[in-house]
């Protein structure tokens, strides 16, 4: 049976594009379905599309979807890093090299026609979305903001000439063992040296301007440390605030304020909602919302979402302060496990987890290929 490439051009095509991974991963106990409405919004209505270009394609076999891919070009990224790179994302396929060749080849041809000379992925338009192809940890359930894929994906992309650009790694921390002694000592020294105090996430959420300041601090804190990072626009900050702040609370998260009340550092955790999303099966209604609300009250496993310090407070050891505060809250909330957010393996900050009782959880890879 011959395969056919079809560009996504209708609402029906879009729905098939969004729902394909659910069918592909049916029976996979590790796969976490994204909410379909969120996916459609990401593909059609996010503010990032005001400056990014993107196209989507399906591969069909006798009108049945067997693969999907999205090609993207972020001009702000290329200007910042002096590159001519396209991105691919939303890459899913059956275990067939010809389907993968059609998907990636179509994205490559489009990128080349747009003047690009490289393509890398899987990535999102910017640093806010899911990225990185899973290469280790296939037996684990990923956090809700991370991709899951079958092992054969890696064999397909490397077989088509893609090479490693970078890896992100994640750990699972055993919370009951507490913090290393060194962290407590550093926290005490930092507290004596700097006029810092613990702020309230719940109070911050009630003040829209404070929320904006938080996300600007978040953007600034990662400008020097996150691979492929592009500073957020004001519109992206507003969208991310609406999407993530409802999940944040003082229950397990912490922010530090300086003597002027400005945000100095932060450690934000969310209760794991991955199993709730599995039960929701991509839909909030009729019962998906119920599973999510229940998950938001269960802190046994949490996802360490964003941790950092603003540029003027980096390299001063103040992370120890919010780790101490978060450890105290973790005990009170009954937390047993914490899953770290993906961190680039070349960033020395990832070494902080070496002092903790931890185990490898997942490894993700960004692949790259020259197309000119």
Domain boundaries, the chain: 3-169, 173-363
Is the pLDDT at 84 greater than 90, yes or no? Answer: yes
Q: Give the CA distances from residue 177 to residues 251, 344, 357, in Å, rounded to whole numbers and listed in that order.
A: 19, 25, 7
Q: Which of 95-109, 138-152, 165-179 has the lowest mean pLDDT?
A: 165-179
**Quick one: pLDDT at residue 71?**
98
Q: What percent of the chain has pLDDT over 90?
A: 65
For residue range 333-356, what is the model confidence (pLDDT) as tens digits? 999 999 998 988 876 665 667 767
Query: In DSSP terms, which residues pair with 58 in a beta bridge?
Result: 6, 68
Percent of the chain exceeding pLDDT 70 equals: 98
Contacts (Cβ under 8 Å, ≥6 apart) of 370: 117, 118
One fold for 3-169 and 173-363: yes
Listed range (93-97, 132-136, 239-243) with the worst mean pLDDT: 239-243
Rounded distance between C-alpha atoms, residue 167 and residue 185, angstroms:
32
Mean pLDDT value across the chain: 92
Beta strand 343-344 with 197-198: parallel, antiparallel or unpaired? unpaired
Residue 271 forms beta bridges with which residues? Answer: 302
| Stated pTM of the model | 0.93
**Considering only CA atoms, which of 225, 55, 21 is closest in space to residue 125?**
55
Domain 3-169 is in which class? alpha beta
Question: Candidates 3.40.50.300, 3.40.50.2300, 3.40.630.30, 3.20.20.370; correct CATH number of 173-363?
Answer: 3.40.630.30
Mean pLDDT of 238-262: 87
In angstroms, the CA 3 to CA 94 distance is 12
Mean pLDDT of 242-269: 87
Report the distance separating Cα 161 and Cα 155, nearest Å. 10
Q: At what angle do helices 97-113 and 152-159 cross, to 10 degrees?
A: 50
- Whether 300 shows a pLDDT value over 90: the answer reads yes
Question: Is pLDDT above 80 for 30?
Answer: yes
Mean pLDDT (whole number) for 262-274: 91
Contact 76, 48 (CB under 8 A): no
The CA angle 53-92-302, to the nearest 5 degrees, is 95
Distance CA 290, CA 280 (A): 9
Question: What is the average per-residue pLDDT within 180-195?
Answer: 89
Lowest average pLDDT, out of 45-54, 84-93, 173-182, 329-338, goes to 173-182
């Amino acid at each position: 049976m011959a395969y056919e490439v079809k560009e996504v051009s209708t609402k029906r095509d879009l729905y098939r594009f969004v729902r394909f991974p659910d069918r592909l991963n049916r029976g996979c106990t590790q796969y976490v379905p994204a909410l379909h409405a969120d996916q459609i919004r990401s593909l059609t209505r996010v503010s990032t599309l005001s400056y990014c270009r993107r196209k989507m394609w399906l591969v069909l076999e006798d009108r049945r979807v067997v693969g999907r891919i999205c090609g993207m070009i972020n001009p702000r990224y290329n200007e910042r890093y002096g590159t001519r790179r396209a991105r691919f994302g939303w890459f899913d396929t059956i275990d067939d090299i010809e389907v993968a060749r059609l998907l990636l080849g179509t994205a490559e041809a489009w990128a080349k026609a747009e003047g690009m000379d490289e393509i890398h992925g899987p990535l999102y338009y910017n640093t806010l979305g899911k990225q990185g192809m899973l290469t280790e940890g296939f037996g684990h359930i990923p956090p809700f903001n991370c991709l899951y894929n079958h092992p054969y994906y890696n064999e397909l992309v490397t077989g088509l000439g893609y090479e490693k650009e970078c890896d992100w790694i994640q750990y699972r921390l055993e919370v009951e063992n507490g913090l290393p002694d060194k962290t407590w000592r550093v926290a005490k020294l930092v507290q004596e040296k700097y006029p810092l105090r613990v702020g309230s996430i719940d109070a911050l959420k009630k003040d829209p301007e404070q929320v904006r300041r938080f996300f600007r601090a978040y953007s600034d804190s990662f400008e020097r440390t996150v691979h492929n990072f592009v500073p957020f626009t004001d519109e992206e900050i507003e969208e991310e605030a609406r999407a993530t702040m409802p999940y944040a609370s003082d229950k397990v998260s912490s922010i530090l304020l300086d003597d002027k009340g400005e945000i100095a550092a932060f450690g934000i955790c969310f209760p794991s909602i991955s199993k709730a999303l599995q039960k929701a099966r991509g839909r909030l209604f009729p019962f998906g919302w119920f599973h999510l609300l229940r998950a938001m009250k269960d802190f046994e496993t949490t996802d360490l979402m964003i941790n950092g310090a603003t540029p003027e407070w980096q390299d001063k050891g103040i992370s120890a302060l919010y780790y101490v505060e978060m450890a105290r809250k973790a005990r009170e909330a009954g937390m047993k496990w914490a899953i770290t957010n993906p961190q680039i393996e070349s960033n020395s900050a990832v070494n902080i987890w070496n002092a903790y009782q931890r185990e490898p959880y997942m490894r993700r890879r960004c692949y790259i290929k020259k197309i000119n």
